[in-house]
Amino acid sequence: MKRSKNQKPRTTILVATLSTLLLGFSMSAIAQSISTIDVDSLGPQVGEYVPNFNLPDQNGQVKTLDSILGPNGAMLLFHRSADW
Amino acid sequence: MELQERLQELGGSGIGVAAISYDSTEVLNDFAEKRGITFPLLSDKDSAVITEFGILNTVVAEGLGPNRDNPEVVASVHKYVAASVFDSIPLRQMINGTPFPGTFMLDANGRVTSRYFEEFYRERSTTSNILLKAGIGLTPIAAIEGRTAQLKFTAYPSDTSVTNGTRFSLAVDVEPHPNMHVYAPGAEKMGYRVVGFNMNPSELVRFEPANFPESEIYHFEPLDEYVPVYQEKFTLLQEAVVNASAEAEEIMEELDALTLSGSFDYQACDDAICYPPASVPITFTLELEHLDYQRTNQR
């Protein structure tokens, strides 16, 4: 099951619970709806513009999307943490 | 960080770089200093940008919510966040606000040209692999060069050092000699051998379907055949993922390197002669890094 950009996990659980009551789905049906996330559907897609941002770097210097973009674009990485 | 090593090439290609995480500038400063990182590590302390991008990992919030003990919620935390090493509420709190990790390649106007997100948290594409897939040529490292009667090739790994879950590529630049062509997918139906790697199966590495560039149609008049071929220089990618299972990790603990063996196969023909299929044995040896669970700093 695909999820929209703004996920509402609780709604999903609620809907799944309702359908369990109504249709007698097993617990594994709920599990399917909770644990299947299509990460490729999240965030800006190919051809779409990414939002601008204003964030400080490791030296406290504020960077924006424009300041990161080179003449041929940029590589923008999102990662969990530098800390662990 | 392996990205640092490719920074010059990226700059030379006119491509900017930034990495975003929810860490404080202090943590990032410390990390940059320890690892010698010079590109911008951006601090999205309240995860506002991560949220605006729509890639906030909501599984973590769910793992802290009223259903946190539901075995299925626990299972999805394991799948999308981390395994038992993070299996505690304080640790889930610590990682609340992190994104689903991934990379966007943007054009000069900030439009997405390609994107790389992994479904399993343990699998991660290397920067070099992303650059190769995005069509940004890299200087081959640890290359195997070959020259046959029909072509020239340079085979190389995107990375010389890998670990559990690393998604990397074996690349081969192929240059057919003048008037010579090799066969692209589709040609097998006409009985020709399609160019490509033929790697021996390994329990430690999963090979993905090969990534072929666009081919051209060659009209072989004597048989009135229209065959997909490559006549100009091209690059073929064979993506691979290092097994991230606990069993594989245990086996790899004893190893310093991964050896991948197989062959580079092709069939080449010109207007007059069709040479028999050829198979050139190749072996790549990649250094195995062991995962480091050590934290650099207290947050």
Domain boundaries, chain A: 9-68
Domains parsed from chain B with CATH numbers: 2-133 (3.40.30.10), 144-288 (2.60.40.1250)
Helices (H) and strands (E) counted in chain B, each on its own, are 9, 18
Q: Higher model confidence: residue A67 or residue B136?
A: A67
Task: Choose between B75 and B129: higher pLDDT.
Answer: B129
How confident is the model at residue B27, as a pLDDT?
Answer: 93
**Mean pLDDT in chain B?**
88
Q: Tell me if residue A42 falls in helix, strand or coil.
A: coil
Looking at per-residue confidence, does B62 or B43 come out higher?
A: B43
Which pLDDT belongs to residue B65? Answer: 79
Beta bridge partners, B261, equal B283
Collect all residues of chain B within an 8 Å Cβ-Cβ radius of residue A55. 20, 42-44, 49
**Alpha carbon distance B261, B157 (integer Å):** 12
- Average pLDDT rounded to a whole number, residues B75-91: 68
pLDDT of residue B244: 85
Would the ipTM clear 0.85, i.e. be above it? no
Count of positions (residues) in chain A: 84
B291 touches chain A (CB under 8 A): no
Tell which residue, B281, B68, B266, B97, has the closest CA to residue B185: B266
* B103 Cβ under 8 Å from any chain A Cβ: yes
Q: What is the DSSP pairing of strand B196-199 with strand B205-207?
A: unpaired
Which range, A73-82, B105-114, B243-252, has the best average confidence (pLDDT)? B105-114
- Point out the residues of chain A with pLDDT beneath 50: 1-34
Give CA–CA dist B63/A36, Å, rounded.
15
Split at pLDDT 50, 70, 90, the class of B142 is confident
Q: What are the two backbone dihedrals, phi and then psi, of residue B114, each rounded to the nearest 5 degrees?
A: -160, 160
pLDDT at position B235: 95
| Stretch B13-23: mean pLDDT | 94
Residue B227: phi and psi, rounded to 5, are -120, 135
pLDDT of residue A2: 38
Q: Which of B16, B37, B298 sits opposite A70 (nearest CB)?
A: B16
Task: Check residue A24 and give its pLDDT.
Answer: 39
Higher pLDDT, B253 or B181: B181
Which residue type occupies B37? Answer: I
> Cα A2 to the chain's mean position, in Å?
12
Q: Is the minimum CB–CB distance between B60 and chain A shorter than 8 Å?
A: no
- How many CB pairs lie under 8 A apart between chains A and B? 227
- Of residues B69 and B199, which shows the higher confidence score? B199
Can you spell out the DSSP letters for B117-148?
A: E-SSTT-EE-HHHHHHHTT-----SS-EEEE-
- Does residue B92 register a pLDDT over 80? no
pLDDT the model gives residue A10: 42
Q: How far is B225 from chain A (nearest CA, A)?
A: 37
B49 vs A contacts (CB less than 8 Å):
51, 53, 55
- B32/B45 Cα distance (integer angstroms): 17
Which pLDDT band holds residue B87 (cuts at 50, 70, 90)?
low
Q: Which of A6, A37, A58 lies at the smallest CB-CB distance from B41? A: A58
Which of B263 and A3 is assigned the larger pLDDT? B263
Collect all residues of chain B within an 8 Å Cβ-Cβ radius of residue A42: 54-55, 100, 117
Residue B17 CB-density burial (10 A; 0-12 exposed, 13-18 middle, 19+ buried): buried
> Which tokens is B225 given?
């055949």
Q: Report d(CA A23, CA B106) in Å as an integer.
A: 45
A72–B15: do the CB atoms touch at under 8 Å? Answer: yes
pLDDT above 90 coverage of chain B, percent: 61
A43 with B15: Cβ contact below 8 A: no
Q: Which residue has the higher pLDDT, B196 or B222?
A: B196
Gyration radius of chain A's alpha carbons: 19
DSSP for B47-102 reads -HHHHHHT-B-HHHHHHHSTTTT-HHHHHHHHHHT--GGG-SHHHHHHHTTPBPPE
Three-class SS state of B8: helix
Q: At residue B229, does pLDDT exceed 90?
A: yes
Confidence band of B1 (pLDDT split at 50, 70, 90): low
pLDDT of residue B238: 96
**B89/B86 Cα distance (integer angstroms):** 8
* Candidates B15, B44, B299; nearest CB to A83: B299
Closest residue in B to A68 (Cα–Cα): B16
